[in-house]
Amino acid sequence: MGGLATAGPELAALMSFRPGFEFERTAAELASERVSWARDDRAFFAAGACHVLAYAFVDRFPDFHIMFIKPWQGFGGTHVFASNGSVSFDHNGLMPVEEFLLKSAMAYQARYPGWFSDLVPVTGSIRQFCAENDHTLPELFHRLPWDRADACIDRMLFQAAVSALRGSSP
């Protein structure tokens, strides 16, 4: 796990950074968990299941913790990611946490003038988090999302390793 704890430029974002709002669910996706489930992994875990991806990652890497971007009242843009204080992980892959937070804030402030958020550490179970923050419980998705999250993490970490070996971003 040392490699994840100190990920530098060679393990920076697997893909170009894209804020969650670029993947906002359509009316049809909001109305149907089946339709929402059919989206590609990046879209699925960016908007609607970010909390599942973060919890799955922390299950695998216990030196990481769940973090919640909680916009100030009147704004959207909640997001859940995993971090060990140095590195973040979400639908964008691995990147330095400060870079991730800066890019997130800049994107949301550009789209929603006046947008600010709090960064809240999450210590409870996913069930507790969902109940307190109006997120979908895993069992309420079209299918249980854990295997999909694990496969997504495997793929993203493999891509990061290949990129690191090549000395560049994919």
Residue 1: predicted pLDDT: 40
Mind listing the pLDDT tens digit for each residue in 28-59? Answer: 999 999 999 999 999 999 999 999 999 999 99
Question: 3-class secondary structure for the chain?
Answer: CHHHHCCCHHHCCCCCCCCHHHHCCCHHHHHCHHHHHCCCHHHHHHCCCHHHHHHHHHHHCCCCEEEEEEECCCCCCCEEEEECCCEEEECCEEEEHHHHHHHHHHHHHHHCCCCCEEEEEECCCHHHHHHHHCCCCHHHCCCCCHHHHHHHHHHHHHHHHHHHHHCCCC
